Amino acid sequence: MTTTAVAPTVLSVPVKLAVVVGSNRQGRFGTVIADWFLAHARARADLEVEVVDLAEHDLPTALSHQPSAEVQQRLAAVTPALAAADAFVVLTPEYNHSFPAGLKNLIDWHFTEWQAKPVGFVSYGGVSGGLRAVEQLRAVFAELHAVTVRDTVSFHNAFGDFAEDGTHRDPSACDAAAKVLLDRVTWWALALREAKELRPY
Q: What is the pLDDT of residue 162?
A: 87
When pLDDT is averaged across residues 145-165 and rounded to a whole number, the result is 92
The tens digit of pLDDT for each residue in 5-59 reads 444 444 578 999 999 999 998 889 999 999 999 999 999 999 999 999 999 998 9
Q: Which domain holds residue 121?
A: 15-56+69-198
How many structural domains is the chain composed of? 1
Q: What is the pLDDT of residue 167?
A: 83
Q: What is the pLDDT of residue 47?
A: 98
On whether residue 43 sits in a domain, the answer given is: yes
Q: What is the pLDDT of residue 1?
A: 47
Give me the sign of the Cα torsion angle 38, 152, 32, 52. positive
- Read off the CATH number of the domain in which 115 is found: 3.40.50.360
The tens digit of pLDDT for each residue in 112-140 reads 999 999 999 999 999 999 999 999 999 99
**Per-position DSSP letters for the chain, written without gaps between them:** ----PPPPPTTTSPEEEEEEE----TT-SHHHHHHHHHHHHHT-TTEEEEEEEGGG----SS--SS--HHHHHHHHTTHHHHHH-SEEEEEEE-BTTB--HHHHHHHHT-STTTTT-EEEEEEEESTTTTHHHHHHHHHHHHHTT-EEEEEEEEEETGGGTB-TTS-BSS-HHHHHHHHHHHHHHHHHHHHHHHHHHHS--
On whether residue 3 sits in a domain, the answer given is: no
Q: Could you tell me which residues come within 8 angstroms of residue 116 by beta carbon, excluding any fewer than 6 positions away?
A: 145, 146, 147, 192, 195, 196, 201
More confident residue, 9 or 164: 164
